[in-house]
Amino acid sequence: MKRAIVVRYGEVFLKGENRGFFLSKLEQNLRRAVAPCGGRVERLHTRYLVRADDPAGALLSASRVFGVTSVSPAILCEPDLTAIGDAAVACARETADRRGNVSFKIETRRSDKRFPFPSLEISRLVGGRVFTEVGLPVDVHQPALTIGIEVGREATFVYGDTVAGPGGLPVTTAGPVLLLLSGGIDSPVAGWLMQKRGCEVSAIYFHSFPYTGDRTKEKVKDLARLLAGWQGRLRLRVVHFTDIQKALREAGPAELAVVLYRRMMMRIASHAARLDGALALVTGENLGQVASQTLENIATIEEAAALPVLRPLLTYDKSETTALARRIGTFEVSALPYEDCCSLFVPEHPELRARVEVAAAIEARLPIAQWAREAAEASEIIELLDAGLPAAPALV
Amino acid sequence: MRDIYLDNGATTRLCAEARDALLRYSLADFANPSSAHRAGIAASRGLREARETMAAALHCEPGEVVFCSGGTEADGLAVIGAARAARGKHVLASAVEHPAVLGALKVLEADGYACDLVPVTREGLCDPEAVAAAVRDDTAVVSVMHANNEIGTLCDVREIGRAVRKKNPRALLHVDAVQSFGKIPVSVRDLEVDLLSLSAHKLHGPKGTGALYVRKGVRLQPMWGGGGQERGMRPGTENVAGICAMAAAVAVAVRDLAEAEPRMARLRDRLVARVQEAVVDARVIGHPQRRAPHNACLGFSGVMSEVLLHMLEERGVTVSAGAACASRDHTASHVLRAIALHDDIGVIRVTLSRETTEDEIEAAAGAICDCVRALRT
């Protein structure tokens, strides 16, 4: 029997005149995602059909394309009742082998109205065959397995299990952003959430060797590679931050160090964003997660940025961020020990309400604009490709 | 400058003799030593010779050597296997044991055994009388480390064993000799031990191979069942290539020991002296004299050990942060806590091998002095 994958997309962006734009981006992303598995994408009415040399791999890849709401492995068949019934029986058998004798129902969509039986009739006839030949009990209200049948002009197919996609909007529909990536739990999640809104993410990491070891840099690369898996490839810039950090630390009181470091990161990231054409900066910052994440500090830090600073995790509880990190597969990497350069040379009780004037007065004595430009320009560029380590998809 | 590798306590470079054995028993005499054919016999001959080499090095019978996957497995098999085979339900170890032994105690605790740790002195020494005082009537196993992996302190194994047996003759003595074997003479006869663990990759052999000495008459409960290899104590097809490579490395280590031991100690002492001359308040962690010849464990107040490690690596000098003491979020290792080291001291562990040269030690000493001074300004 011929196999394929049915790919469904959300309908939020189907309205209005942008429909064609969104769909062409989605199709492009889908093609790219399934290409390594030998996948060929066919556009059906309101769905895509992917035929692939490696159907299991293509299923996984397609389930990680933003804009996709769900995917199902399907059996292709001829548009006649016997062939459809055979496929449904095969599909039910496969499920029964895996999950036992679960209850089922059949749902049919007949978009090809030339087909001689109406949808309900198809469901009834095929359901009868599954019941007698496989022995699964019928439950039309809360079935454990819904067998879908679609009879269309271009193709006819039958599917059982469904894997959830990430939803959201296709990457590249919303413009590029630059993510400030550390080795922690939050920033990769922040980047993923922006990808989900259609942004293509590149990343910047501030490395303070020898105060942070190269193991931390490797960890950040691993995280960037995981994010690349959701958009194909990703550019990571590594900024060598040690000397600047030392100079900032010496220029002002220790309590202000974190704010001064972060203001400098905003400046460097703003320069780097311009070099790469990014339209906004993204951070994993949160309100109140640690004591110094106050609105006053956030405002003082943002004042140094030349671009909008987006904080998708601002309102998340730590447990919500962690749960999402687990779902998208970054948690295990983030949970490894790492050294955060912001904690360097910093007293136990940092400033909670830093004021722009105070920070700016300290910075005025240093050639910060020149440092920021040079640090961005001298940053090491690492192009990362999909790690091919997707999070296990959840069956729905 | 060529990189200077001074982390031989973590692992060592494979020596040529071990490489040759590894290749020979992987490519030519690769058969299963249990097979009846000639190829199998060739492999079993290699295995037998390796066992004899190990026995000669340890001063024991070939039948008392059990091959396994390395130090952690040897420690676990010794402590857990001996405790499970014994009647007593009490196990004793020093507070500065390797995680392999401490982990074995956790396994036993979960099985209902009582486990106690004996404190050590500020030099990391384990007092025989203190150990004996902790021995009970139902003590099955006492486990102590010959040379400590972090701070290098050598423990008086024989005196501990004698004190233990005086209190309870049924208690078995296990010694973790992973850091000492091949660096100083390790004779199970002289040390009077019942069980002794060692690992190949600490002495220029391959990773994934080790051995446990099991004195004749000592019973061990194996960790798993199988085809009866290693007298049933460690079933599974023998890692012939790894075992023969280990034996080749051991033969070299034993042959060169008389020359290598004093030379490493001399170079180590020179490194310590250079650093102490140039750096204010640089101290040796562990015992000043009773220590493994290849280990220099140095403490510097007000310095973060990992930062020093990274600065040294930038200068081409590879050492290890003896433990994450005086560092940001990390807490001091159990060994440094056991010797009550002050929290503000950053510790690096410099470990030599017989390949370490005088030039390397001079360069490393210079780099350590420079980096510590830079960090303190």
d(CA A47, CA A71) in angstroms, rounded, equals: 10
- Tens digit of each residue's pLDDT (9 = 90 or more) over A174-205: 999 999 999 999 999 999 999 999 999 999 99
Q: Which amino acid is at A234?
A: L
Residue of A nearest to B311 (CA): A210
d(CA A244, CA A246) in angstroms, rounded, equals: 5
Q: Which residues of B are less than 8 Å from A339 in CB distance?
A: 306, 328
In this complex, the residue of B311, B314, B328 whose CB is nearest that of residue A339 is: B328
Q: Exactly one of B60, B325, B369, B371 is catalytic; which is it?
A: B325
Q: Given this model, what pLDDT does residue B322 score? A: 67
- Tens digit of each residue's pLDDT (9 = 90 or more) over A4-31: 999 999 876 666 778 888 999 999 999 9
Nearest to A180 by CA among A243, A273, A260: A273
Q: Given this model, what pLDDT does residue B327 score? A: 43
The minimum CA-CA distance between B330 and chain A, rounded to whole Å, is 9
Q: Which residues contact A102 (CB under 8 A, 6 or more apart)?
A: A95, A96, A136, A143, A144, A145
- Tens digit of each residue's pLDDT (9 = 90 or more) over B47-105: 999 999 999 999 999 999 999 999 999 999 999 999 999 999 999 999 999 999 999 99
> Tokens 């070939």, residue?
B62
Nearest to B195 by CA among B215, B210, B220: B215
Work out the average pLDDT over A134-153: 94
Work out the average pLDDT over A51-59: 90
- Tens digit of each residue's pLDDT (9 = 90 or more) over B133-190: 999 999 999 999 999 999 999 999 999 999 999 999 999 999 999 999 999 999 999 9
Q: What is the helix, strand, coil percentage profile of chain B, to 5?
A: 45, 20, 40
Q: Which amino acid is at A147?
A: I
Q: Given this model, what pLDDT does residue B230 score? A: 96
DSSP code for A137: P
Q: Confidence class of residue A389 from pLDDT cuts 50, 70 and 90?
A: very low
pLDDT over 60 at B107, yes or no: yes
Nearest to B66 by CA among B271, B191, B211, B257: B211
Give me the percent of chain B exceeding a pLDDT of 70: 97
* Chosen from A211, A250, A340 to mutate, greatest number of chain B CBs within 10 A: A211
Q: Given this model, what pLDDT does residue B326 score? A: 41
ipTM exceeding cut-off 0.85 for this assembly: no
Q: Given this model, what pLDDT does residue B167 score? A: 97
The minimum CA-CA distance between B320 and chain A, rounded to whole Å, is 12
Burial of A116 (0-12, 13-18, 19+ CB in 10 A): exposed
pLDDT over 50 at B132, yes or no: yes
DSSP code for B147: B
Work out the average pLDDT over A30-57: 91
Q: Given this model, what pLDDT does residue A128 score? A: 96
Other C-beta atoms within 10 Å of A78: how many? 11
Q: Which residues of B are less than 8 Å from A217 in CB distance?
A: none
Q: Confidence class of residue A291 from pLDDT cuts 50, 70 and 90?
A: confident
- Decide if B329 touches A, using CB distance below 8 A: yes
d(CA B120, CA B129) in angstroms, rounded, equals: 11
Residue A210 to residue B309, Cβ atoms within 8 A: yes
Hey, what domains does chain A have and what are their CATH numbers?
2-164 (3.30.2130.30), 175-385 (3.40.50.620)
Q: Given this model, what pLDDT does residue A12 score? A: 62
DSSP code for B33: T
Q: Which residues of B are less than 8 Å from A212 in CB distance?
A: 310
The structure tokens listed for A295 are 């609105």
For chain A, list residues whose CB is within 8 angstroms of any CB belonging to chain B.
209-214, 337, 339, 343
d(CA A320, CA A307) in angstroms, rounded, equals: 27
Query: With contact defined as beta carbons under 8 Å apart, do B204 and B15 qualify?
Result: yes
Q: Which residues of A are less than 8 Å from B306 in CB distance?
A: 213, 339
Work out the average pLDDT over B35-46: 96
Q: Given this model, what pLDDT does residue A90 score? A: 95
Q: Which residues contact A64 (CB under 8 A, 6 or more apart)?
A: A33, A165, A166, A229, A230, A390
Is the Cα dihedral A185, A186, A187, A190 positive or negative? positive
Residue A210 to residue B307, Cβ atoms within 8 A: yes
Q: Given this model, what pLDDT does residue A17 score? A: 79
Query: In chain B, which among 275-314 make CB contacts under 8 A with chain A?
Result: 304, 306-311, 313-314
Query: With contact defined as beta carbons under 8 Å apart, do A160 and A98 qualify?
Result: no
Nearest to A225 by CA among A200, A188, A279: A188
Q: Strand, coil or helix: what is B292?
A: coil
Q: Which residues of A are less than 8 Å from B304 in CB distance?
A: 211
In this complex, the residue of B309, B311, B328 whose CB is nearest that of residue A343 is: B328
- Decide if B377 touches A, using CB distance below 8 A: no
- Tens digit of each residue's pLDDT (9 = 90 or more) over A60-106: 999 999 999 999 999 999 999 999 999 999 999 999 998 999 999 99
Q: Given this model, what pLDDT does residue A284 score? A: 96
The structure tokens listed for A126 are 């095929």
- Tens digit of each residue's pLDDT (9 = 90 or more) over A271-289: 999 999 999 999 999 999 8
Q: Given this model, what pLDDT does residue A394 score? A: 45
Q: Confidence class of residue A386 from pLDDT cuts 50, 70 and 90?
A: confident
Residue of B nearest to A346 (CA): B328
The minimum CA-CA distance between B294 and chain A, rounded to whole Å, is 26
DSSP string, A153-216: SS-EEEE---EE---SB-TTSS-EEEEE--SSSHHHHHHHHHHHBTPEEEEEEEE-TTTS-HHH
Helix H or strand E encompassing A122: helix A119-134
Q: Which amino acid is at B293?
A: P
pLDDT over 50 at B328, yes or no: no
d(CA B31, CA A219) in angstroms, rounded, equals: 41
Q: In chain B, at which residue ranges do the beta strands (DSSP E only) sit?
A: 4-5, 65-68, 90-94, 114-118, 139-145, 172-176, 195-199, 210-214, 282-284, 295-301, 317-318, 320-323, 345-351
Nearest to B80 by CA among B218, B245, B223, B267: B223
Nearest to B242 by CA among B286, B206, B282, B294: B206
pLDDT over 70 at A338, yes or no: no
Q: Which residues sit opposite B174 in a β-bridge?
A: B143, B195
Residue A211 to residue B310, Cβ atoms within 8 A: yes
Q: Strand, coil or helix: what is A8?
A: strand
Nearest to B117 by CA among B93, B138, B101, B100: B93
pLDDT over 70 at B205, yes or no: yes
- What does each C-alpha distance from B133 to A141, B148, B160, B167, B340 come to in angstroms? 72, 22, 11, 8, 22
The minimum CA-CA distance between B279 and chain A, rounded to whole Å, is 20
The structure tokens listed for B62 are 């070939």
pLDDT over 90 at B344, yes or no: no
Q: Which residues contact B91 (CB under 8 A, 6 or more apart)?
A: B79, B83, B105, B108, B113, B114, B115, B116, B139, B140, B141, B142, B143
Q: Given this model, what pLDDT does residue A225 score? A: 94
Residue B306 to residue A339, Cβ atoms within 8 A: yes
B325 belongs to the catalytic site: yes
- What does each C-alpha distance from A345 to A257, A289, A361, B129 come to in angstroms? 8, 21, 20, 45
Q: Given this model, what pLDDT does residue A341 score? A: 63
Single pTM value for the model:
0.85
Q: Given this model, what pLDDT does residue A283 score? A: 97
**A316-343 as b/e: b if 16+ CB within 10 A:** beeeebbebbbbbbbbebbeeebbbbbe
- Tens digit of each residue's pLDDT (9 = 90 or more) over A341-376: 666 667 778 888 999 999 999 999 999 999 999 999
